[in-house]
Amino acid sequence: MAYQSRLSAVILMRTLQEEEAHREWAAAKNLLILEQERLNQLGKKLQVTLTALTNLQKRFVSADEVTLYFDFIENLREGIKHQKKIVAHQEAVCEEKRVLLDMAVKERKVVEIVEERRKRAYLNQLFKKEQAVLDEISGRLKLRDLVDHE
């Protein structure tokens, strides 16, 4: 008689939950990478604008033009500040998804361990039954040999 698992449906469910948690974590991580790249692009744009303003100030320019640069730089700084908040939020979401993934992995492993222990206990019980049958057969054969030799 082969071992039939009672927990196979639970293991399948836990595995599917783990896969879903992994997909959610991967999506959150990819979004975090995109948001970090946007932040880096804003930082580069700010550096280029500051360099352009510095070069512009070396020659004669109007106050309106400098004011436009300062306004643009201020908007970039506000954009960077806002983007940093978005990145921080996405980092928190990513960490939350990672924790959920870890929990799903642990839950699946726990069920698999329980299943393995049940299987091992079943096989041990089966082995003991087989051993008892073999011992009984052996005892009967020995008894028959004794009876036949008398």
pLDDT per residue as tens digits for the range 74-89: 999 999 999 999 999 9
Query: For 23-40, what is each residue's pLDDT tens digit?
Result: 999 999 999 999 999 999
Residue 3 lies in a domain: no
Contact 100, 25 (CB under 8 A): yes
Q: pLDDT tens digit string along 47-60? A: 999 998 888 888 87
Chain position carrying tokens 């052996």: 138
Q: Does 1 map to a domain? A: no
Total domains in the fold of the chain: 1
pTM over 0.85: no
In the predicted model, what is the mean pLDDT of residues 81-103? 97
With a CB cutoff of 8 Å and minimum separation 6, the contacts of 69 are 49, 52, 53, 56
121 domain residue, yes or no: yes
Q: What is the CATH number of the domain that holds 112?
A: 1.10.287.1700
Could you list the residue range(s) of the whole structural domain that residue 133 is in?
Answer: 8-149
